[in-house]
Amino acid sequence: MSAPNSDYDPVEVTPLHPDEIARMRDEALAAVAAADSVAALKQVRIDHAGDRSPLALANREIGALPPQARKEAGQRVGQARGAVTQALAARTAEVESAELERALEAEKVDVTLPTDGRRPGARHPVTTISEHVADIFVAMGWEVAEGPEVEAEWLNFDALNLGPDHPARTMQDTFWVSPEQAATVLRTHTSPVQARTMLTRKPPIYVVCPGRVFRTDELDATHSPVFHQVEGLAIDEGLSMAHLKGTLDHFAQAIYGDGMTTRFRPSYFPFTEPSAEMDLLCYVCHNEPADVASCRTCKGEGWVEWGGCGVVNPRVLTACGVDPERYSGFAFGIGLDRTITGRYDIADLRDLFDGDVRFTEPFGVEL
Ligand code: PHE
């Protein structure tokens, strides 16, 4: 402990000496100028403008001065601190904008660069609906069967009770595969898969077969020489038309929702007896009196054609090695293309067959 210094001149107290204040200020300004990041500035702010910075500490000394000296010292320190605060603000703005610039530059995306141009593509609606139909039947315990598109005449016709002179052969305008003696056709329906299945499996049989079929139709907005069907065949003991109706109604509901139903109109197919044309309740207007007249999908009918069906003719069972005394069954064939064009309001059937990805893309990539 030293004795009080009687010569002590508070104006000369070192931290408040004008040179010393100027030095602190200049040091602070130099540190501000040297800081080149927001983080560095934060440290500079603590060191030179914070509570424990030399200028803040000098400020505290002012109180120790005689009253007449306080004003001048206060001004000096205040000016110095003001200069530092200002410099900090200016430098912060500068550094922040430089950092933003740098980030923008670093994250820049050149939208004019060439891409690799490969589009993901999409599944064709025929594929999607075929698989959807197969799934519905597989869920009931059925199996999926397949057959060739180039088919033996015997399987496409004879086995199905369409003998060589049967007038119904002309119902299906056939593409014959040359040479003629080969007795080979492009299958005119998926029904030969019925014959193939019965010839290779023992009942009970429950199969569906989606596939491509061919007829010599002109290509126009509503016809195509290539189209798609899904065949169904059930052979078991005691099966009847009632099982057929129940199966088709379930199928219609699985695709179009509750309340869907089908209706049968008497018809003729050589391979089924009795036979029916099958219509689906119009899935747009539901045959509601208020909507049906103006419905474009069913054209005011209330029903849309869906396919043919019936109880398998015993002659077909016999031809395919199934005992008609023990077994009976039902079959149906449904047109898939019209189902798609109706459902998606596609005006021109040809769109389904053009192979243009711009058509398939909106259907998405369903997996
Ligand atoms: N194969 C028939 C057709 O293409 C449809 C059908 C299948 C009818 C099964 C009855 C039973 O027109």
Domain coordinates of the chain in residue numbers?
10-106, 125-363
- Ligand 1 pocket, residue 309 CB under 6 Å: yes
Q: Which has the closest alpha carbon to 339: 268, 246, 214, 251?
A: 251
Give me ligand 1 centre to Cα 126, in Å: 19
- Ligand 1 pocket, residue 331 CB under 6 Å: yes
Per-residue pLDDT at 8 = 46
The residue assigned the tokens 């130099």 is 30
Amino acid at the residue 151? E
Give me ligand 1 centre to Cα 296, in Å: 26
Q: Please state, in angstroms and rounded to a whole number, the distance separating the CA atoms of residues 81 and 150.
A: 95
Side-chain-facing half-sphere of 176: CA atoms under 13 Å: 9
- Ligand 1 pocket, residue 310 CB under 6 Å: yes
Ligand 1 atom nearest to 309, measured from its CA: 10
- Ligand 1 pocket, residue 269 CB under 6 Å: yes
Per-residue pLDDT at 71 = 86
The residue assigned the tokens 């602190």 is 24
Ligand 1 atom nearest to 308, measured from its CA: 8
Side-by-side strand order, sheet with 205-214 = 143-144, 205-214, 226-236, 328-335, 303-312, 272-281, 262-269
Q: Please state, in angstroms and rounded to a whole number, the distance separating the CA atoms of residues 96 and 92.
A: 6
* Under-50 pLDDT residues of the chain: 1-8, 10
Mutate to test the pocket of ligand 1, among 196, 271, 330 (most ligand atoms within 8 A of CB): 271
Ligand 1 atom nearest to 232, measured from its CA: 9
Q: Which has the closest alpha carbon to 192: 250, 259, 146?
A: 146
Residue nearest to atom 4 of ligand 1 (CA): 189
Per-residue pLDDT at 179 = 87
Contact 251, 171 (CB under 8 A): no
- Ligand 1 pocket, residue 87 CB under 6 Å: no
Residue nearest to atom 7 of ligand 1 (CA): 333
The residue assigned the tokens 């990041």 is 37
Domain 125-363 in CATH 3.40.50.300? The answer is no
CA max distance for the chain: 142
Per-residue pLDDT at 97 = 92
Per-position b or e across 63-99, b if 16+ CB within 10 A of its CB:
eebeeebeeebeebbeebbebbbebbeebbeebeeee
Ligand 1 atom nearest to 189, measured from its CA: 4
Residue 83, token pair as written in the block: 């200069």
Q: Please state, in angstroms and rounded to a whole number, the distance separating the CA atoms of residues 118 and 307.
A: 39
> What is the helix, strand, coil percentage profile of the chain, to 5?
45, 20, 35
Per-residue pLDDT at 6 = 46
Phi and psi of 53, rounded to 5°?
Answer: -75, 155
Give me ligand 1 centre to Cα 270, in Å: 9
